[in-house]
């Protein structure tokens, strides 16, 4: 079956192609990347000046397309797959642009609006730090590293950029995403500990409000 599907991959997009994506056929997913990576790159190049942001947007868009089909969904009109992929890329680009603009412009001498370290967070108790460390342990490595450097180690933003090999504008995007994922994991942790008592619930809410 895989060989048959592989032979059909260079044909026009049809129901069998979408079925291969739904079944997570490696050849189909690799073919999708081969067909759309360059067009998406060229499309996103007009939106971003950073190669890192373009790459991030491309990967995120393709990943969302894979997740869409892996979840069992499909398209009523298979021939519209290119339009669907490009619409996903547009949404990803808008999200990244909104995340970056949320922190611009930065007045001379003003604190970084994306700063994760607020006075309240700097004064967190030992109990909260343990909570933070537990949540951080559940995050993807990149998110964990960004939050660790910014929050736990309180390193200078420029030093973090040099350490991670990214531009400052891209660090803002990474930090924005990491904070979002942190909140999501924190919410999940709160649900799992809901029977622990009101004190724990209040502690969690208090910390969430500082993000």
* Per-residue confidence in pLDDT tens, the chain, 211 aa: 443 444 444 567 999 999 999 998 988 888 999 999 999 999 998 888 888 888 888 888 998 999 899 899 999 999 999 999 999 999 988 888 776 654 444 444 444 444 444 444 444 445 566 777 788 888 888 888 888 888 777 788 888 888 888 887 778 878 888 888 888 887 776 666 554 544 444 445 544 544 5
Q: Is 188 helix (H, G, I), strand (E, B) or coil?
A: helix
- State residue 36's pLDDT score: 94
Contact by Cβ (8 Å): 54, 87: no
CB 132 within 8 A of CB 207: yes
Length, in residues, of the chain: 211
Q: Tokens 């030992």 correspond to what residue? A: 126
Q: What is the predicted pLDDT for the residue at 10?
A: 52
State how far the Cα of 85 lies from the Cα of 80, in Å rounded to an integer.
9
Domains located in the chain, CATH noted: 2-101 (1.10.1740.10), 119-208 (1.10.10.10)
String of b and e for 129-159 (b: at least 16 CB within 10 Å)?
A: eebbeebbeebeeebbbbbbbbbeeeeebee
- The angle formed by the CA atoms of residues 164, 97 and 92, to the nearest 5 degrees, is 90
Question: Distance between CA 155 and CA 178 in Å, rounded?
Answer: 16
């Amino acid at each position: 079956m895989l060989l048959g599907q592989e032979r059909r991959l260079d044909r026009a997009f049809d129901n069998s192609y979408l079925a291969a994506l739904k079944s997570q056929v490696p050849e189909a997913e690799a073919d999708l990347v081969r067909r759309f990576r360059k067009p998406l790159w060229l499309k996103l190049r007009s939106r971003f000046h950073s190669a890192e942001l373009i790459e991030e947007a491309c990967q995120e868009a393709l990943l969302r397309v894979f997740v869409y089909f892996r979840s069992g969904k499909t398209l009523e009109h298979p021939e519209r797959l290119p339009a669907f992929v490009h619409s996903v890329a547009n949404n990803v680009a808008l999200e990244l642009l909104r995340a970056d603009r949320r922190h611009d412009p930065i007045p001379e001498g003003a604190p970084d609006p994306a700063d994760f370290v607020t006075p309240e967070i700097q004064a967190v108790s030992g109990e909260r730090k343990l909570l933070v460390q537990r949540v951080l342990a559940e995050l993807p490595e990149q998110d964990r590293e960004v939050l660790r450097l910014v929050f736990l180690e309180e390193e200078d933003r420029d030093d973090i950029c040099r350490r991670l090999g990214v531009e400052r504008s891209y660090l803002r995007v990474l930090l924005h995403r990491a904070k979002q994922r942190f909140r999501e994991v924190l919410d999940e942790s709160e649900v799992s500990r809901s029977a622990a008592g009101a004190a724990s619930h209040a502690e969690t809410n208090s910390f969430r409000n500082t993000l």
